[in-house]
Amino acid sequence: METQFLNTFVTVVDQGSMAAAARVLNITPAAVAQQIKTLEREIGAALLARSGRTVSITEQGSRILQHARDLVRNVSDLRSIALESGVSGELRLGSCPTAMAGILPIVLARMVETLPQINVFIKPGYSAELYRLVESGDLDAAVVLQAPFPLAKVCEWQLLREEPLIVLAPESMANRDPHELLSTQPLIRYDQNQWGGRQADAYLKHHGIVPRERFELNALNAIAVMVDRGLGVSLVPDWARPWPEGLRLARIPLPDALVPRRIGIVWSRSSVRVRLVTAFLQESREAMQASRG
């Protein structure tokens, strides 16, 4: 059985159509269909149900999907091990939402130029989930917020960026005292279920500030837009660009900010792709140094 055909099956399921899978695999839709047909004949069951231009997975296909994913991943692992004298293979990487837009593109742009032989699979998610996936070995590394708990012994951490809390206010309020703004203006609260939101809440409580809460949400770019529209002020980490364009905002530093939010890379020392992880760490350090310079 061709492992490439299993990879085609997984790609079709992930993409939702044979045409989309063909674009990802850089082959024709007819070749995708032929590989799926051959795989189904070898397995002896229909794996996909066709409906116009889209496909859905059958019950039999669902039963083997995770096994197929594991086999494809294991073949990639074997390739990485066999070629360990060079830096090549697939790196399985996670990223929290903030890093996905503001940090990861800077690093990947550098990697494409310096290490084009590395393929990167990226899984978006919240930091708590991504830590678990790195610890379990489902991901090799992840760009995440620093955890408020001790890391598993198998994991290590590298700092990329610190983001102190700031008061985000309309530009017209740039010269006002940040504590006065937090006490008198409606507060657009950063979701307290997020680690950054809990830091903001701890700051308010530490200074005895009881805000006039108006909204609570976990999307920093949306908070910025709401502040620009005059709906209130917010207490948020000074997150990495890009921000929405055309906003007229004041980023007011706090007189005695507590520990800043820290974003970095967590990785597993037990990964068979540790050579790829090491290369990613090096490229990340250099990319962040260049962006600050």
Position 67 scores a pLDDT of 84
Task: Look up residue 72 and give its two tokens.
Answer: 């494809």
Q: How far apart (Å, rounded) are the C-alpha atoms in residues 141 and 268? A: 7
Position 129 scores a pLDDT of 92
Q: SS3 string of 268-285?
A: ECCCCCHHHHHHHHHHHH
pLDDT in tens, 201-230: 999 999 999 999 999 998 999 999 999 999
Look at residue 19 and give its three-state secondary structure: helix
Q: How far apart (Å, rounded) are the C-alpha atoms in residues 176 and 136? A: 48
Which of the residues in the chain have pLDDT under 50? 85
Position 83 scores a pLDDT of 53
7 to 44, 96, 200: CA distances (angstroms): 18, 26, 44
The pTM (predicted TM-score) of the whole model is: 0.67
Q: How many residues does the chain have?
A: 293
Name residue, tokens 């590395």: 118
88, 111 in Cβ contact below 8 A? no
Sheet of 261-268, strands arranged across: 118-124, 89-95, 141-145, 261-268, 155-163
Domains of the chain: 3-82 (1.10.10.10), 89-162+262-292 (3.40.190.10), 165-259 (3.40.190.10)
